[in-house]
Amino acid sequence: MERKGGAPPSTAARPRNNIRSHASTEGVFNGGATVGYSPGPMTLLSNLFGDGDECKSFSELLAGAIVDPTPPQFFLDSPSQAVEWSNIRKDKIINKMVNVREHYMKESDAAKGHFGMTDQQMLAQVTHSNVQIQAEHPFSTAVPATTLTQFHSPSVNADKPNEDGYNWRKYGQKHVKGSDFSRSYYKCTHPNCPVKKKLERSLGGHVTAIIYKGEHNHPRPHPSKTTRGTLTSTENSDKSKEEMSSQMDLESSQATAEHGSGTSDSDHETEVDEKNDEPDRKRRNTEARHQDPDSLHRTVAEPRIVVQTTSEVDLLDDGYRWQCEMHGFTVCRSYYKCTTPGCNVRKHVERASTDPKAVITTYEGKHNHDVPAARTNSHTLANNNASQLKEQNATPNETHRFSSRGVGGYEQRPVENLRLKEEHIT
């Protein structure tokens, strides 16, 4: 790489006394200053499956997942992984999962057919609790933090850090040890905005993952004000998307206002591959890529976008229409497919492990169409009045408005999605 800048000739003499002094927000992210908040696999699984009375409705939801004969993709990948899982939770959950897997394997052909997704499509789907998905594995996950929010930008171009409408300043880059990946670190340039994001790129420069952390405490900058005009012409000219952008701005503002500050003190993100249950997080990040070289190719086309949110605003309702995908033989879970014909965008919604109010949504692909007008309107209306939204959400019956979409599932909002929302406001 051509060196445009330059490291100080004598960094050893550089004063570093204040390196962590301004870490009020920094610590929020670096996982260091925030005292040991890094849930491990046990915690994650415990939260994922519910181990008590916590997140009851969500636990029920997850319990349903256990009953669901459709195992997550990772569970099918390797029997040994299933064994590892059992080492984590040897209780009922794992036993059920094993049974599920056995059952599922018997139905492998048909079941895989039900998955209806290619490996590529499975990529980035993601995660579970506050999770981070990484490119190396279809179900790699991560743990998060509690209040991590970034709003989905459906047409984001990952190759351009601020094509999501915000302005970013790169503050670091690292080569991912033992791999051909490099990771770039960006901060939102808006004053006092704590949001950061990481872009992982393959050797060829293709973005394989985008990980947002934090919550913008400001509206999205006007496209014309974004640095270097990195918004694409399509975006700039796309009224619908601008409207959506505005909606997201509003959501962001509301979310921020309702949360008091952009981030929680407990904000923290740990990039992991929890469901692989590899004990070494660091190793996971590097070895997994080697173990699955094909993942590189799979992720080149469409980087994953991980959205972590705890906003009380309906972030799950992102303006697009989603149809729940049937996985297995029972009701659909948290996997959705854009209902627009020809659009292959999918998303996966999951509950955060560390914060029952947090929800992680992982998007895969780009919408090749505008936000549905009708949905846009309702979405706008829904978000133009936070209090109104709260009232709506506070009335469970009113949130249970989903319609059957015929074969394959329901249009959002499906039951589990609704449950997430209900829990969100309780």
Is there binding between residue 378 and DNA (CB under 7 A)? no
Q: Which of 5, 52, 204, 406 binds DNA (CB under 7 A)?
A: 5
Could you tell me the smallest distance in angstroms from the CB atom of residue 132 to DNA?
9
Q: Give, as ranges, the residues between 139 and 178 that touch DNA (CB under 7 A).
A: 161, 167-174, 176-178
Contact flags string 320-359 toward DNA, x per CB under 7 A:
----------------------------------------
How many CB atoms are closer than 10 A to CB 346? 24
User: Which is closer to DNA, CB of 7 or CB of 374?
Assistant: 7
| Interacting span for DNA (CB under 7 A) from 18-26, 352-360, 403-411, 417-425 | 18-26
| CB-CB contact of 404 with 410 (8 Å) | yes
- The residue (of 227 and 384) whose beta carbon lies closer to DNA is 227
Q: Which span (32-40, 108-116, 252-260, 324-332) binds DNA, by CB under 7 A?
A: 32-40
| β-pairing verdict for 359-364 and 322-324 | unpaired
DSSP string across 298-316: HHHHS-EEEEEE--SS--S
At 101 the three-state DSSP class reads helix
d(CA 257, CA 383): 13
- Closest of 424, 422, 406, 392 to residue 332, by C-alpha: 406
Task: Answer whether 338's CB lies under 8 Å from 322's CB.
Answer: yes
Strands (DSSP E) found in 189-290 = 196-201, 207-213
Six-digit token string for 268: 């923290």
Q: At what angle do helices 41-49 and 79-88 cross, to 10 degrees?
A: 90
Helices (H), 107-224: 108-115, 119-122
CB of 37 to DNA, least distance (A): 7
- Return the residue of 271, 277, 312, 350 that touches DNA, per CB under 7 A: 271
Residue among 32 and 408 whose Cβ is closer to DNA: 32
Tally of CB atoms within 10 A around 21: 8
Q: Which residue of 153, 202, 208, 285 would you call a contact of DNA, by CB under 7 A?
A: 285
Nearer to DNA, 142 or 386 (CB): 142
Q: Which is nearer to DNA, 175 or 400 (CB)?
A: 175
Among 79, 229, 260, 279, binds DNA (CB under 7 A): 279
- Count of C-beta atoms within a 10 Å radius of residue 15: 6
- Contact segment (CB under 7 A) with DNA among 120-128, 184-192, 255-263, 309-317 equals 184-192
When asked if residue 229 is in the footprint of DNA (CB under 7 A), the reply is no
**Bridge partners (DSSP) listed for residue 130:** 128
Q: Which two tokens stand for residue 96?
A: 């059920």
The residue among 121 and 162 lying less far from DNA, judged by its C-beta, is 162
208: contact with DNA by CB under 7 A: no
Residue 224 neighbours by CB distance under 10 Å: 8
Angle at 195 between CA 193 and CA 197, to 5 degrees: 150
Interface residue with DNA, options 89, 101, 198, 351 (CB under 7 A): 198
> Which of the ranges 35-43, 87-95, 305-313, 382-390 carries the binding residues for DNA, by CB under 7 A?
35-43
In terms of CB distance, is 16 or 239 closer to DNA? 16
Nearer to DNA by Cβ, of 11 and 397: the residue is: 11
Whole-number minimum distance, CB 261 to DNA, in Å?
Answer: 17
Spatial CA neighbour of 357 closest among 40, 2, 47: 47
Token pair listed for 25: 């927000």
3-state SS, residue 107: coil
Q: Tokens 């996982």, residue?
A: 31
Rounded CA gap, 42 and 416, in Å? 23
Residue with Cβ nearer DNA (153 or 254): 153
Site size with DNA, rule: CB under 7 A: 59
DSSP secondary structure code for residue 29 in this structure = H
* Alpha carbon distance 189, 166 (integer Å): 8
The stretch near DNA (CB under 7 A) out of 7-15, 64-72, 298-306, 401-409 is 7-15
Sequence-distant (6+) residues with CB within 8 A of 363 are 124, 152, 154, 304, 305, 307, 345, 346, 347
Of the candidate residues 89, 101, 196, 351, the single one contacting DNA (CB under 7 A): 196
- Of 56, 282, 290, 297, the one binding DNA by CB under 7 A: 282
Comparison of 15 and 341: residue with beta carbon closer to DNA = 15
For residue 239, state whether it binds DNA (rule: CB under 7 A): no
In the complex, which residues of this chain contact DNA (CB under 7 A)?
1-9, 11-12, 14-16, 18-20, 22-23, 26, 29-33, 35-36, 38, 40, 161, 167-174, 176-178, 183-187, 189, 196, 198, 227, 269-271, 279-282, 285-286
